[in-house]
């Protein structure tokens, strides 16, 4: 029997990293655990393999690469890689998907539309590598209609041939023509605001805080660092908002229905410095962050999105969760030096408080 | 910038001319002087807005005098906190300035450390027992003060009972002099007891703040306050009694009806006395009045604040609103279980976040230490500043009464215009005139003129905006009270420096401690005295110098609270958190910068108060 290559999110979990890629596995895990995740499905790495094998893609790539020579550690060769990348991507994106795969993907999409109760819903096609390579592969937003879904799945696959990925593989001496990843096809959240949050204060490793960054529009604005987000620091235990920094956010990242492209639009002056989240949303995000952290058992880096059309709190979606990479890995060193309460008391009594003028 | 910022030295401060003669109200050892100038200029002095936010009445100054000795000695000579010395006081322009005395030489620090370890360890090991002993001796002292006999009037002739069967040998002339000496000794002793464990309680608190901050760098002091605060402390008892009395009244509808009327407390009591149920209810007040109505309507530091016992309008107005709320089916009591449960939840959730077992053990132990001793900081307050001070003021007024009856003073409370070294002169003057026989004059005219002049000086001092600090701020502070009670921190001193440069009308934003989270905007009501509470409208934001247990019911009416004084464990902070009101405490200048009617925004999460619109 042929290996399974497509899954509903709720069918996969953390253990399926290598099957569907990290992002899909985590989203599946969150879905199964009952978190509010945009509904969708995942294409496993097997789908990538089948596509590459069953079409002529692999052969074409190998043929092309026979004549390609460049040194990944030589900056001057970057242009060569860029050109090669363009050629390879064009090549893949011109290949037609095996009919049974195309049919299945369209069926899954149609089922998503049926469940959502509307025709041609908007989805995001997101890359999901088995290893975490944040920002290396590509994601396409506001994809609509079954034909576009199929095409954008291929575009995500082809993004494993973007310049930075090809150079990265060349440096590691990995084969250049093959880098199987999963793809998540997720319902788009019509985000009024989105961003990321950490279940630890990224500044000092204080695990009693949740640090939230958000901005108007879609989350890519925050993740990519293209806007200065609002910042909130919330105490996980008392649920008090300790710090609130409202920034001049400048632009918001939104979908332009005319061009069918995502674009940065300058916010009107009275909007730029407005708080992008209501306090109740900040607190609800904190509650969710705590739950996600408890579910995975270590500090998390979570992406979230708030829908404009749904009522609070259903408006809040989690679109990604992964272990926080800096503080989560730090060794847990004691800081109080094995002192007893009385020893700490004596220490305090003998240490003056500095006043800095 | 570059140049080190500093405040003027005491000798550089220019006082308004109307204050002329202010020095004579206070004993010379309490004044800045040429002969001690070198030492005084080495220290940084700041106005003590906690104990002396108002110009100081000479006799009220006795508490300050007493704490200067007591607080300091427990640090320097009793528990011997190694690097810390005492807190010195000086009067300037009728306001009190204080300073943490510079640290002792290194060899002294070493000597003190030995005593410190041994003595402090003993206290922690035995605290529960020691607290019982403390309370017993303190209550005994208060009862002695209450029992003190002060002549109501001089007898024309000593009665037979003092002659037969054997003459007593002394008269009311001696008795009145002795009574005053005795009450002075008693108040000094009470203030000795006041600090018995307070320095350690504050140190314990500071230790726990340090420990928690090492584990959770961003933990807020208001959260730490929630962890250590006790729910069942004497301080909350008066309010609990009011709740209980209000519930009793609800059970007796005619009583409740009278309590709800908009008439004075005196009238209400008169009407209550006229009905059976009312008499029973009043008996209940009499039963608990001492100690639970011996609550100052202010901080307990000034005679003019009054206590519930002599300003019954205050407790009756609270009960009026409690009865109304009970009838609406609202709950009026604080839920002690809810408070304790919330405290336990916060502590255990923080504990669960600690990353190593080793640190968790130290944290648990540190928490145990602070919980052992911290109660003292909350309990002593009721017994000393409220209960005993109420007794003291009443007794002092008995001396005032007899001076008025004999034309030495005009009004009873004028006695507070003379310091504790001068009052014996007035009493001696009176006793002498009586002893001399018929027709011998006192210097009543002289005393009365002096009283009138002093009242004018104090009035002028009230209008003077005293400088917040004097001299050069230090680089470090070891004295626990300076850090905790007065909240002297880098930011605070910097704000004072800033504040001393700008006119109060130009200030649009003031900072304090973020004591209770949340944001509220609304009209300000500046309450300098609790009596002003009658003017308070529901939904206003209270701006007060500081609050204490007798203010508690105010919090059910307001939207947010702002105080000049007090940290995160101050009364206003604790009660605001309980009622879920935003509060910013310890701003230093709120009551002088904000005017009643200004629209202000209080952000209890950041500690910022913004003046949105001025009246």
Residues A19 and A119 reside in one and the same domain: yes
Contacting residues of A for B475, CB less than 8 Å apart:
354-357
DSSP per-residue letters across A98-159? PHHHHHHHHHHHHHHHHHHTSSS-EEEEEEE-SS--TTTS--EEEEESHHHHHHHHHHHHHG
In chain B, the residue whose alpha carbon lies closest to the alpha carbon of A242 is B605
Contacting residues of A for B215, CB less than 8 Å apart:
335-336
Number of domains in chain A: 2
Report the helix count and the strand count for chain A, using DSSP H and E.
Answer: 12, 14
Residue A341 lies in a domain: no
In chain A, the residue whose alpha carbon lies closest to the alpha carbon of B488 is A355
Residue A267 lies in a domain: yes
Contacting residues of A for B116, CB less than 8 Å apart:
346, 349
The answer to whether A355 contacts B218, with C-beta atoms less than 8 Å apart, is: no
The answer to whether B356 contacts A333, with C-beta atoms less than 8 Å apart, is: yes
- State the pLDDT at residue A270: 82
Residues A278 and A239 reside in one and the same domain: yes
Q: Which stretches of chain B drop beneath a pLDDT of 50?
A: 1-3
- Domain stop point among A129, A155, A187: A187
The answer to whether B350 contacts A208, with C-beta atoms less than 8 Å apart, is: yes
Residues A158 and A301 reside in one and the same domain: no
Residues A198 and A169 reside in one and the same domain: no
Helix (H) or strand (E) holding A51: helix A45-54
Q: Is B476 helix (H, G, I), strand (E, B) or coil?
A: strand
Interface of B with A in 210-229 (CB under 8 A): 210-211, 214-220, 222-223, 226
pLDDT digits (tens, 9 = 90+) for B289-328: 999 999 988 778 999 988 999 999 889 988 998 999 899 9
Return the domain boundaries, chain B. Answer: 10-107+465-484, 128-193+391-462, 234-327, 495-613
CA-CA distance, A23 to B582, in Å (whole number)? 41
Contacting residues of A for B219, CB less than 8 Å apart:
206, 208, 235
Query: Is B349's Cβ below 8 Å from some Cβ in A?
Result: yes
First to last CA, chain B: 35
A344 in Cβ contact with B367 (< 8 Å): no
Computed over every residue of chain B, the mean pLDDT equals 89
Contacting residues of A for B366, CB less than 8 Å apart:
341, 344-345
**Mind telling me how many Å the CA of A330 is from chain B's nearest CA?**
11
CA-CA distance, B45 to B63, in Å (whole number)? 19
Residue A101 lies in a domain: yes
In chain A, the residue whose alpha carbon lies closest to the alpha carbon of B352 is A208
Q: Which residues form the domain of A237? A: 191-323
Q: What is the distance of C-alpha B568 from the center of its chain?
A: 16
B405 in Cβ contact with B442 (< 8 Å): no
A113 in Cβ contact with A121 (< 8 Å): yes
Contacting residues of A for B349, CB less than 8 Å apart:
236-237
Contacting residues of B for A275, CB less than 8 Å apart:
none
Length of chain A: 357
Contacting residues of B for A335, CB less than 8 Å apart:
214-215, 359
In chain B, the residue whose alpha carbon lies closest to the alpha carbon of A336 is B359
CA-CA distance, B590 to B613, in Å (whole number)? 15
Nearest to B223 among A238, A347, A353 (CB): A238
DSSP per-residue letters across B369-407? HHHHHHHHHHHHHIIIIIIIHHHHHHHHHHHHHHHHHTT
Q: What is the mean pLDDT of residues A147-161?
A: 94
CA-CA distance, A316 to A280, in Å (whole number)? 11
- Half-sphere CA count of A120, side-chain side, radius 13 A: 7
- State the pLDDT at residue B5: 61
In chain A, the residue whose alpha carbon lies closest to the alpha carbon of B580 is A240
- State the pLDDT at residue A1: 45
The answer to whether B605 contacts A244, with C-beta atoms less than 8 Å apart, is: yes
In chain B, the residue whose alpha carbon lies closest to the alpha carbon of A294 is B353
The answer to whether B218 contacts A241, with C-beta atoms less than 8 Å apart, is: no
Residue A162 lies in a domain: yes
**Mind telling me how many Å the CA of B468 is from chain A's nearest CA?**
16
CA-CA distance, B578 to A25, in Å (whole number)? 44
Computed over every residue of chain A, the mean pLDDT equals 89
Nearest to A341 among B359, B365, B489 (CB): B365
CA-CA distance, A354 to B470, in Å (whole number)? 19
pLDDT digits (tens, 9 = 90+) for B238-272: 989 999 999 999 999 999 999 999 899 999 999 99
Nearest to B490 among A236, A242, A356 (CB): A356
pLDDT digits (tens, 9 = 90+) for B263-295: 999 999 999 999 999 999 999 999 999 999 999
**Which of A241, A349, A351, A353 should one mutate to test binding to chain B, selecting the residue with the greatest count of B CBs within 10 A?**
A349
Nearest to A206 among B217, B345, B474 (CB): B217
A156 closest CA partner among A8, A24, A306: A24
The answer to whether B216 contacts A206, with C-beta atoms less than 8 Å apart, is: yes
Map B526-590 to HEC letters: ECCCHHHHHHCCCCCEEEECCCCHHHHHHHHCCCEEEECCCCCCCHHHHHHHHHCCCEEECCCCH
The residues facing A144 across adjacent strands are A122
Beta strands A140-144; A122-128: pairing state? antiparallel
Q: How many CB atoms lie within 10 A of CB A172?
A: 8
Helix (H) or strand (E) holding A255: strand A251-256
- State the pLDDT at residue B63: 97
CA-CA distance, B220 to B518, in Å (whole number)? 14
Beta strands B541-544; B519-526: pairing state? parallel
A106 closest CA partner among A61, A162, A57, A146: A146
* Domain harbouring A59, CATH code: 3.30.1490.20
Contacting residues of B for A235, CB less than 8 Å apart:
218-220, 223
The answer to whether A344 contacts B359, with C-beta atoms less than 8 Å apart, is: no
CA-CA distance, A24 to A38, in Å (whole number)? 12
* Domain harbouring A201, CATH code: 3.30.470.20
Residues A153 and A218 reside in one and the same domain: no
Q: In sequence order, which residues have a C-beta less than 8 Å from that of residue B144 and are 6 or more positions away? A: B186
B150 in Cβ contact with B179 (< 8 Å): yes
Q: What is the mean pLDDT of residues A39-61?
A: 93
Interface of B with A in 45-84 (CB under 8 A): 81-84
DSSP B104: P
Quick one: CATH architecture of B495-613? 3-Layer(bba) Sandwich (3.50)
Residues A118 and A207 reside in one and the same domain: no
**Mind telling me how many Å the CA of A195 is from chain B's nearest CA?**
22
Beta strands B599-603; B519-526: pairing state? antiparallel
Alpha-carbon Rg for chain B, nearest whole angstrom, is 25
Residues A37 and A89 reside in one and the same domain: yes
In chain A, the residue whose alpha carbon lies closest to the alpha carbon of B484 is A353
Residue A171 lies in a domain: yes
- State the pLDDT at residue B2: 36
Residues A172 and A203 reside in one and the same domain: no
**Mind telling me how many Å the CA of B224 is from chain A's nearest CA?**
11
What does the angle CA B182 – CA B186 – CA B187 come to, to the nearest 5 degrees?
120
- State the pLDDT at residue B1: 34
Interface of B with A in 454-483 (CB under 8 A): 473-478, 480, 483
Characterise B561 by phi-psi region: left (phi > 0), alpha (psi -120 to 50), beta (else).
beta
DSSP B185: H
Residues A312 and A286 reside in one and the same domain: yes
Contacting residues of B for A244, CB less than 8 Å apart:
605-606
By the 10 Å C-beta count (0-12 exposed, 13-18 middle, 19+ buried), A226 is classed as: middle
**Mind telling me how many Å the CA of A347 is from chain B's nearest CA?**
8
Nearest to B218 among A201, A334, A356 (CB): A201
- State the pLDDT at residue B3: 45
Residues A11 and A134 reside in one and the same domain: yes
Alpha carbon separation from B357 to A333, B118, B227 (Å, rounded): 10, 29, 20
B93 in Cβ contact with B15 (< 8 Å): yes
pLDDT digits (tens, 9 = 90+) for A54-97: 998 899 899 999 988 888 888 888 888 999 999 999 999 999 99
What's phi and psi for A156, nearest 5 deg? -65, -45
- Domain stop point among A187, A217, A233: A187
Residues A59 and A200 reside in one and the same domain: no
């Amino acid at each position: 029997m042929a290996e399974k290559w497509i899954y509903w999110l709720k069918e996969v979990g953390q253990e399926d990293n290598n099957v569907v890629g990290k992002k899909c596995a985590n989203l599946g895990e969150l879905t199964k655990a009952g978190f509010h995740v945009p509904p969708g499905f995942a294409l496993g790495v097997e789908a990538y393999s089948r596509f590459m094998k069953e079409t002529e893609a692999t052969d074409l790539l190998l043929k092309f690469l026979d004549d390609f020579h460049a040194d990944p550690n030589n900056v001057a060769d970057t242009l060569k890689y860029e050109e090669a990348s363009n050629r390879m991507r064009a090549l893949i994106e011109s290949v037609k998907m095996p009919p049974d795969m195309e049919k299945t993907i369209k069926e899954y999409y149609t089922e998503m539309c049926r469940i959502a109760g509307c025709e041609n819903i908007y989805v995001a096609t997101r890359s999901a590598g088995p290893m975490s390579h944040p920002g290396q592969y590509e994601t396409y937003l506001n994809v609509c209609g079954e034909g576009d879904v199929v095409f954008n799945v291929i575009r995500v696959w082809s993004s494993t041939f973007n310049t930075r990925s090809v150079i990265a593989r060349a440096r590691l001496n990995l084969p250049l023509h093959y880098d199987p990843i999963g793809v998540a096809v997720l319902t788009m959240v019509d985000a009024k605001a989105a961003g990321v949050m950490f279940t630890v204060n990224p500044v000092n490793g204080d695990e009693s805080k949740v640090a939230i960054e958000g901005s108007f529009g879609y989350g890519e604005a925050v993740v990519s660092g293209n806007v200065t987000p609002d910042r909130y620091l919330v105490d996980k235990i008392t649920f008090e908002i300790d710090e609130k920094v409202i920034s001049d956010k400048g632009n918001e990242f939104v979908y332009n229905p005319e061009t069918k492209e995502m674009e940065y639009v300058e916010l009107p002056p009275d909007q730029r410095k407005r708080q992008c989240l209501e306090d109740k949303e900040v607190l609800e995000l904190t509650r969710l962050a705590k739950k996600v952290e408890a579910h995975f058992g270590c500090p998390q880096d979570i992406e979230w999105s708030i829908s404009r059309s749904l009522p609070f709190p259903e408006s809040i979606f989690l679109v990604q969760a992964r272990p926080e990479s800096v503080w989560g890995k730090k060794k847990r060193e004691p800081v109080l030096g094995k002192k007893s309460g009385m020893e700490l008391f004596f220490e305090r009594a003998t240490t003056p408080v500095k006043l800095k003028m | 910038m570059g140049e080190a910022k500093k405040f003027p030295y005491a000798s550089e401060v220019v006082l308004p001319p109307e204050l002329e003669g202010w020095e004579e109200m206070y004993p010379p050892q309490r004044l800045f002087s040429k002969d001690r100038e070198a030492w005084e200029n080495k220290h940084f002095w700041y106005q003590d807005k906690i104990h002396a936010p108002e110009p100081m009445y000479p006799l009220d100054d006795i508490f300050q005098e007493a704490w200067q000795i007591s607080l300091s000695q427990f640090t320097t000579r009793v528990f011997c906190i190694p690097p810390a010395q005492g807190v010195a006081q000086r009067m300037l322009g009728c306001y009190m300035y204080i300073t943490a005395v510079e640290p002792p030489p290194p060899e002294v620090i070493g000597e003190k450390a030995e005593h410190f370890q041994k003595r402090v360890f003993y206290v922690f090991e035995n605290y529960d027992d020691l607290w019982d002993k403390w309370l017993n001796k303190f209550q005994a002292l208060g009862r002695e003060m209450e029992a003190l006999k002060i002549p109501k009037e001089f007898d024309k002739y000593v009665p037979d009972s003092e002659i037969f069967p054997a003459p007593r040998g002394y008269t009311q002339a001696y008795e009145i002099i002795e009574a005053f000496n005795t009450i002075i000794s008693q108040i000094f002793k009470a203030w000795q007891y006041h600090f018995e464990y307070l320095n350690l309680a504050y140190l314990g608190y500071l230790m726990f703040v340090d420990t928690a901050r090492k584990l959770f760098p961003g933990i807020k002091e208001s959260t730490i306050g929630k962890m250590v605060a006790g729910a069942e402390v004497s301080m909350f008892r008066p309010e609990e009694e009011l709740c209980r009395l209000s519930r009793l009244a609800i059970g007796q509808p005619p009583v409740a009806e009278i309590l709800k009327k908009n008439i004075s407390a005196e009238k209400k009591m008169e009407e209550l006395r006229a009905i059976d149920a009312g008499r029973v209810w009043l008996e209940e007040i009499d039963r608990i009045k001492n100690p639970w109505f011996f609550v100052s309507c202010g901080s307990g530091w000034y005679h003019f604040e009054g206590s519930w016992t002599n300003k019954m309008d205050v407790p009756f107005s609270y009960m009026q609103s409690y009865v109304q709320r009970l009838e609406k089916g609202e709950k009026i009591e604080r839920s002690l279980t809810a408070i304790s449960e919330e405290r336990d939840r916060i502590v255990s959730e923080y504990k669960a976040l600690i990353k190593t077992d080793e640190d968790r053990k130290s944290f648990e132990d540190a928490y145990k230490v602070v919980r052992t001793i911290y109660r003292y900081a909350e309990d002593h307050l009721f017994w000393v500043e409220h209960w005993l001070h109420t007794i003291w003021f009443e007794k002092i007024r008995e001396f005032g009464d007899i001076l008025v009856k004999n034309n030495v003073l005009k009004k009873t409370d004028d006695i507070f215009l003379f310091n504790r070294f001068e009052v014996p002169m007035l009493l001696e003057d009176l006793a002498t005139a009586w002893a001399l026989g018929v027709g011998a004059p006192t210097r009543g005219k002289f005393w009365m003129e002096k009283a009138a002049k002093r009242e004018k000086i104090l009035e002028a001092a009230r209008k003077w905006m005293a400088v917040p600090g004097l001299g050069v701020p230090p680089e470090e502070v070891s004295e626990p009270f300076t850090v905790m009670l007065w909240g002297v921190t880098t930011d605070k001193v910097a704000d004072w420096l800033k504040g001393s440069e700008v006119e109060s009308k130009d200030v649009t934003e003031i900072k304090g401690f973020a004591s209770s989270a949340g944001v509220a905007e609304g009209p300000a009501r500046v309450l300098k005295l609790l009596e002003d509470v009658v003017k308070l409208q529901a939904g206003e934001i209270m701006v007060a110098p500081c609050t204490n247990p007798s203010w508690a019911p105010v919090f059910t009416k307001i939207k947010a609270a702002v105080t000049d004084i007090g940290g995160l464990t101050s009364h206003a902070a604790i009660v605001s958190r309980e009622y879920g009101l935003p509060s910013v405490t310890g701003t230093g200048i709120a009551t002088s910068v904000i005017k009643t009617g200004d629209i202000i925004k209080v952000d209890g999460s950041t500690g910022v108060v913004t003046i949105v619109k001025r009246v």
